[in-house]
Amino acid sequence: MCGIVAYSGKKESVINSLVTGLKRLEYRGYDSAGIAAISSSGIYDKKTVGKVTNLERAVLEDQPVGLNGIGIAHTRWATHGEPTVANAHPHASADGRIWVVHNGIIENYLEIKKNLQKKGIKFTSQTDTEVVAKLIGDLYKGDLRSAVLETVAQLKGAFALCIISKDEPERLIGVKYASPLLVGIGKDELIIASDASAIIERTKKVVYLEDGELVDINKSDYEVVSFQDEAIDKSVEKIDWDVDAASKQGYEHYLLKEIMEQPEAIENSLRGRILLDEADVRFGGLMDVSARLKDINRVVLLGVGTSYYSAKLGELYFNALTSIPATAAMSPEYRYTKNNIDKNTWLIAVSQSGETADTIAAIEEAKRHGALVTGLVNVVGSSISRMTDAGVYNHTGPEISVASTKAFTSQSLLLLMHAILLGRQQGLDFSASKKLIRAVVDLPKSIGEVLKSRDLIEKVASSIRKDNDLFYLGRQYNYPIALEGALKIKELAYIHAEGLSGGELKHGFIALIEPGFTTIAIATDDVVKDKMIANIAEVKARKGRVVAIANEVIKQADATVVVPNIGSDMLQPLVNNIALQLIAYYVAKERKLDIDQPRNLAKSVTVE
């Protein structure tokens, strides 16, 4: 979604810290950006449409003087109102004395706006955020904190806010409710941000705010209070990754870097969790709920987008390795279906960001029914990691590129390990489990082999760069991979693609096959390979083009990406998917698209 960074510290660092922080957050939203900083003559502000570099250029031209070291900044992903300068944040109170940046959504903004308009207050943007600035201004009687607390009491929805006032030039206030916000504790400086990537260059010490908390910064001191203005004692935590993890490290794009670092990322996901001699796995994060896991009679795997596709793989894993029925559920639909869940249901919420609004709403629904809810989350300290009963972190380091790659591989692998954990409790055979765990341990090496053949994959990708429509076919464990492969090429290369089970093809979809129509068919050696070969023949009979992902050259196909046979039907799809990630990357590159920040997308979708 949008990104917030706010700074209180050295005068000379304010603009640089805000702009660098925004650049780090740009992957969260990139249609406009803005800055407001306290200066000796009041407030300096600048807003621009487009990327943060436009803002940086404009601020450099202005060379603002007299700044005192306190400011707020924002990069936006439009929800209310088009991406224009007027709609960009920060927004100001009617008298221009108070400035606000906001992430999230104010559900009752129209009602508040009408009340303020009745008082004669004029609005200049179409945003929900502007009502917050105007309301704080209306309620302000000389104490910013009181005005903010009175304001948040009237707001409905999700909001992370940072606020400054010309009348209290030493003060910076941050507020969190259902949208993430943290405070970086640096040397002689404090930085508020919606995401740790914005502060990691300056400090690793961090205070995570919880819903209903306000941080009141007075130059170098800070105090956290509840929305009822009661003091809260917060602990300072340490971010366990460093700035390198959030940089491109010589790669042209974050996406390629994140694809290429998967062997290492997966090693990190596995560290300390494999008990090879016992043919078992261990998750420290699930220890506290181990007694409850014994009474589970149903498993629900929840997610949306790429995380839903890993949940679909997880569904297959649980159903194969345990006798407990498992279903994947798509977060946005979850509340609108009859779920029949109770305290014996184990719901695993899968989310890279840990902030996805639909997944959060579904978790709340499951909790209302008493289900055991655990998280499988990449971002440490994120909302989902905090609201679940227990959970497992991916530990794959920050995923900056908007399209998810390494998180998917890690999620799928860790879901397999969740299934092994439950399976072993129910008597999953020792040697079968050991064989599987050995394949898990070997997976990083196998992924590394696919990555080595990326030049060949680039050539195959080149052959589909002009296609407008594609089918991705897979069966059994490769069906979720077909769905994920199709999503990746849609997001990155803007090619319309459908992920299908090979078995679905004849039930309508085949009508679209005509000479030259390309189908990407996953036909690695497994129990459904013959069926996939039959699908390939069906496409060829209609003069379609086929690119196969297989363990050896498929003679019926027009091209084959050969991937290593890793001897595990359950894990082979994760190797196959690497080839699909690279295909999507190279097609997008040939089409000269904005790979790390595709149009209309945002990294974490914190509104429903």
Applying CB under 6 A, which of residues 404, 476, 560, 576 lies at the interface with ligand F6R? 404
- To ligand F6R, the closest distance from the beta carbon of 608 in angstroms equals 12
Applying CB under 6 A, which of residues 93, 129, 353, 433 lies at the interface with ligand F6R? 353
Residue 194 engages ligand F6R in binding (rule: CB under 6 A): no
Catalytically annotated residue among 2, 162, 176, 490:
2
Applying CB under 6 A, which of residues 351, 374, 412, 572 lies at the interface with ligand F6R? 351
Return the range that interacts with ligand F6R (CB under 6 A); candidates 140-148, 303-311, 320-328, 543-551: 303-311
Applying CB under 6 A, which of residues 13, 125, 306, 476 lies at the interface with ligand F6R? 306
- To ligand F6R, the closest distance from the beta carbon of 330 in angstroms equals 10
Q: Comparing C-alpha atoms, which of 608, 524, 602 is closest to residue 563?
A: 524
- To ligand F6R, the closest distance from the beta carbon of 323 in angstroms equals 29
Q: Which residues contact 247 (CB under 8 A, 6 or more apart)?
A: none
Q: Comparing C-alpha atoms, which of 87, 227, 71, 237 is closest to residue 150?
A: 227
For residue 145, the number of C-alpha atoms closer than 13 Å in the C-beta half-sphere is 19
Q: Which residues contact 604 (CB under 8 A, 6 or more apart)?
A: 1, 28, 352, 353, 355, 356
For residue 238, indicate whether it is catalytic.
Answer: no
- Nearer CB in complex with ligand F6R: 19/584: 584
Q: Which residues contact 179 (CB under 8 A, 6 or more apart)?
A: 1, 103, 104, 158, 159, 160, 194, 355, 606
Return the range that interacts with ligand F6R (CB under 6 A); candidates 348-356, 367-375, 468-476, 497-505: 348-356
- Nearer CB in complex with ligand F6R: 48/385: 385
DSSP H helices in 406-501: 406-425, 430-452, 454-462, 479-493
Helix (H, G, I), strand (E, B) or coil at 134: helix
Q: Which residues face 559 on adjacent strands? A: 547
Residue 391 engages ligand F6R in binding (rule: CB under 6 A): no
Residue 606 engages ligand F6R in binding (rule: CB under 6 A): no
Applying CB under 6 A, which of residues 260, 296, 403, 497 lies at the interface with ligand F6R? 403
The residue number whose beta carbon is nearest to ligand F6R equals 305
Residue 491 engages ligand F6R in binding (rule: CB under 6 A): yes
Please give the distance of CA 534 from its chain centroid, rounded to a whole number: 37
Q: How many CB atoms lie within 10 A of CB 82?
A: 11
Give the whole-angstrom CA distance, residue 522 versus residue 548: 6
- To ligand F6R, the closest distance from the beta carbon of 242 in angstroms equals 22
Return the range that interacts with ligand F6R (CB under 6 A); candidates 78-86, 105-113, 304-312, 450-458: 304-312
For residue 162, indicate whether it is catalytic.
Answer: no
- To ligand F6R, the closest distance from the beta carbon of 40 in angstroms equals 42
Give the whole-angstrom CA distance, residue 191 versus residue 358: 29
- To ligand F6R, the closest distance from the beta carbon of 175 in angstroms equals 23
Buried b (16+ CB within 10 A) or exposed e, 555-592: ebbbbbbbbbebebbbbbbbbbbbbbbbbbbbbbbeee
Residue positions annotated with a catalytic role: 2, 603
